[in-house]
């Protein structure tokens, strides 16, 4: 198939290359000229505008968005809408909020343009190992794109599937990321206990390697953790500051809306907030309160 890839950042560029490697033709677009130039060296042809991208594709066209969620997606869709015709298909492969996806799909549905949400997991390793894809959309539209998903997935019949109607893909990916937060936090806490037990002189990288084979906690995240600990078991040079890209927040909000208790995923998010709050007002106030009732000394800032 020939398709347009909108957004040639790390994820988009990698996916374009995996598609080309899988026998597909990809025309790319990215607003940054230098990004487009870089990709040319990697075999990905690109155009200078969205309009040119659309006109370079045979009808019915397939356009894959791989851009930051929120306003950037709305901006691109607004620009695309007048350029597309009934029968064309848009795939949003980024981390959009599923509620935005539902809203957007309704708009394109009115124009006869198919809308597919593809929650994509795999990170920087996806180009080599394939992507895990949770897909929402009509059965017919998803089926039309089968060759694309087969090429991007780790194997033809594995790691991808239509999980439900439009929105279901991004919803499932949101939950996936919530789980990811919880898994990461569980490993981080465990290694932190090991690290603080100085009397045993544990080698954290060695422990991670042992666990990678045969243990109940073996996983891909553990493989990566072992890699991160190799050569830097004390995490020297790394600040205790953990960013988040939003899906965890949505997962927490959704669970509360559904009355589903998810304490561990929620706490994982909260710990990330805490990691960025080095001047915690709560903790200062707690210290002041202890002083008030018990006369306990306050540590000075």
Write the interaction track for its own copies spanning residues 181-210; mark x where CB under 8 A is met and - where it is not.
xxxxxxxxxxxxxxxxx--xxxx--xx-xx
Q: Minimum Å distance from CB 66 to its own copies?
A: 14
How far is residue 63 CA from its own chain's centroid?
19
20 vs 267, which CB is nearer to its own copies? 267
Binding flag, residue 51, its own copies (CB under 8 A) = no
Tell me the window of 38-46, 66-74, 103-111, 236-244 that interacts with its own copies (CB under 8 A).
236-244
Residue with tokens 């007002």: 281
How many chain residues interact with its own copies (CB under 8 A)? 136
Binders in 122-181 for its own copies, by CB under 8 A: 122-126, 129-134, 136, 153-155, 158-161, 163-165, 167-168, 171-172, 175-176, 178-181
Binders in 67-126 for its own copies, by CB under 8 A: 121-126
Binding flag, residue 2, its own copies (CB under 8 A) = no
111 vs 273, which CB is nearer to its own copies? 273
Q: Minimum Å distance from CB 194 to its own copies?
A: 6
How far is residue 68 CA from its own chain's centroid?
10
What is the C-alpha separation between 54 and 249, in angstroms, rounded?
A: 34
Binding flag, residue 20, its own copies (CB under 8 A) = no
Reduced to 3 states (helix: H, G, I; strand: E, B; else coil), residue 272 is helix
User: Residue 66 phi/psi, 5° resolution?
Assistant: -135, 65
Cα-based distances in Å from 228 to 66, 131, 186, 219, 236: 27, 22, 16, 14, 11
Reduced to 3 states (helix: H, G, I; strand: E, B; else coil), residue 81 is helix
> Active site includes 180?
yes
> Active site includes 129?
no
Q: Minimum Å distance from CB 203 to its own copies?
A: 7
Count other C-beta atoms under 10 Å from residue 83's C-beta.
16
Return the DSSP state at 299: P
Contact 127, 14 (CB under 8 A): yes
Among candidate residues 45, 150, 180, 209, the one labeled active-site is 180
Catalytic annotation, residues = 173, 180
């Amino acid at each position: 198939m020939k398709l347009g890839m909108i957004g040639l950042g790390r994820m988009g560029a990698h996916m374009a290359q995996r598609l080309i490697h899988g026998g597909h033709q990809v025309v790319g677009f990215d607003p940054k000229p230098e990004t487009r130039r870089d990709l040319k060296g990697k075999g990905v042809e690109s155009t200078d505008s969205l309009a040119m991208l659309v006109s370079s594709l045979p009808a019915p066209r397939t356009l894959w968005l791989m851009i930051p969620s929120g306003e950037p997606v709305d901006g691109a869709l607004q620009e695309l809408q007048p350029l597309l015709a009934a029968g064309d298909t848009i795939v949003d492969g980024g981390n959009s909020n599923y509620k935005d996806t539902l809203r957007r799909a309704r708009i394109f549905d009115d124009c006869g343009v198919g809308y597919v949400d593809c929650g994509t997991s795999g990170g920087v390793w996806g180009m080599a190992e394939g992507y895990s894809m949770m897909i929402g959309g009509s059965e017919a539209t998803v089926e039309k794109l089968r060759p694309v998903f087969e090429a991007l997935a780790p194997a033809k019949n594995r790691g991808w599937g239509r999980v439900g109607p439009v929105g279901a893909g991004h919803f499932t990916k949101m939950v996936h990321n919530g789980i990811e937060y919880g898994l990461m936090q569980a490993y981080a806490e465990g290694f932190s206990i090991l690290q603080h037990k100085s009397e045993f002189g544990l080698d954290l990288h060695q422990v991670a390697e042992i666990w990678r084979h045969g243990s109940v906690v073996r996983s891909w995240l553990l493989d990566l953790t072992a890699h991160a600990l190799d050569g830097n078991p004390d995490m020297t040079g790394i600040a205790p500051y953990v960013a988040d890209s939003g899906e965890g927040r949505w997962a927490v909000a959704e669970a509360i809306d559904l009355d589903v208790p998810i304490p561990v995923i929620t706490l994982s998010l909260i710990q990330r907030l805490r990691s960025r709050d080095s001047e915690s007002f709560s903790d200062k106030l707690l210290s002041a309160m202890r002083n008030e009732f018990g006369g306990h000394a306050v540590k000075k800032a």
